Amino acid sequence: MRELPHPSADNITLAQLMHALSDPARLEIVERLAEGDETCTAIGTGIELHKSTLSHHYRVLREAGLTRTTVDGRTRLIRLRRHDLERLFPGLLDAVLRAVRSQSTGRPSAAR
């Protein structure tokens, strides 16, 4: 159960966070993570992107401080840093999750 390098909570900036959330693929990933922790392949199924591209997105999310990744054997588990983010920017993650859900289920003209 190793750990990957993550930014400490103090080093998370709002701009980087917003940037991590500015890509439709990453928003979809975050939306899935809201349901619960997931392994990389689990998240990837259904998103039509090359696995290296997905890996890139995982890294962006992680380095922005949005997710935490733990290595377990040859799979990685990704989860949202809910607690850190709530302490840092109260209400922000929840609002984003609500927004991304409403956007994906709301109108038929889904972004993408």
Stretch that binds a second copy, among 35-43, 52-60, 75-83, 86-94 (CB under 8 A): 86-94
Q: Which contacts (CB < 8 Å, 24+ apart) does range 54-59 have?
A: 54/25, 54/29, 57/23, 57/25, 57/26, 57/29, 58/29
- The structure tokens listed for 16 are 């980087």
Q: Is 11 in the site for DNA (CB under 7 A)?
A: no
90 lies in the site for a second copy, by CB under 8 A = yes
> Which uninterrupted H or E stretch holds 55?
helix 51-64
Using CB distances below 5 to 8 A depending on partner kind, what does residue 79 bind out of DNA, a second copy, none? none
Residues in region 22-51 near DNA by CB under 7 A: 22-23, 25, 39-41, 44, 48-51
Q: What is the CA radius of gyration of the chain?
A: 14
**Interface with a second copy (CB under 8 A), residue from 50, 73, 107, 108:** 107
Cα 17 from Cα 2, distance rounded (Å): 24
Residues in the interface with DNA (CB under 7 A) total 26
Is 75 among the residues that bind DNA (CB under 7 A)?
yes
Question: Is position 57 an interface residue for DNA (rule: CB under 7 A)?
Answer: yes
Residues contacting residue 45 through CB under 8 Å, at least 6 positions apart: none
63 binds DNA (CB under 7 A): no
